[in-house]
Amino acid sequence: MTTASTALRRHARYGPPDHYLSPPSAGMCLSVFALVERGSEVLVGVPKRHERWTSEWLLAWHFYTEEELKEALLEKRLPSTYLWEGEDPKAALRRIMNDQLQVSKFRAGGPRVLSYYSPSDWYPGNSHWDLAIVYPVKLLQPVRRPPWWRVLGFVEKSRLRAKQFGWNADLVRDLGIVA
């Protein structure tokens, strides 16, 4: 996890340049994750190529090259979504649970917020900022694999490795899901 140096420090207040700063030069993403644990297991999935990912949860995939998308579709991931502009993170969690996982009975705890500032692959010499809002979730009903997941299920944490999660490797390490 990288934080901005003192020389680059500025408030995260973005908008029209007459009253605000411009966003980070390599962009920023605001995401919500559902951390569903069951004892020593965690709910993880591998997405399948499906229109719902790019229309509802991960718009960024529209901008991936075919090679980048193929790689992303092989990576494990926690159930998650980008926030819609102005959306309450709790509403995004409901979208994850109700739409992405098709689960209506669940209980969520208070969120944990993690911040990552890292060099951009797309814009060399610039950094990208990710703000991850992670809710611990307890399922009150079974979860089945919807058609937009190639794989979805509970996996022993000891069997998971950070590199299996692609750009979410730091996140799952910081959450204690992987060693």
| Tens-level pLDDT at each residue, the chain (179 residues) | 444 544 457 778 888 988 888 888 899 999 999 999 999 999 999 999 999 999 999 988 888 999 999 999 999 999 999 999 999 999 999 999 999 999 999 999 999 999 999 999 899 999 999 999 999 999 999 999 999 999 999 999 999 999 999 989 999 999 999 97
In order of start, what are the domains of the chain with their CATH numbers?
A: 28-174 (3.90.79.10)
Residue 155 tokens read as: 């996996």
Say which DSSP state 40 is in.
T
Distance CA(83)–CA(176), nearest Å, equals: 24
Query: What is the reported pLDDT for 8?
Result: 59
Distance CA(154)–CA(45), nearest Å, equals: 9
Cα 134 to its chain centre, rounded Å, is 8
Which residue, chain included where needed, has tokens 């649970």?
Answer: 97
**Buried/exposed code over 54-89 (b: 16+ C-beta within 10 A; e: otherwise):** bebbbeebeebeeeebeebbebbbbbbbbbeeeeeb
For the whole model, what pTM was predicted?
A: 0.91
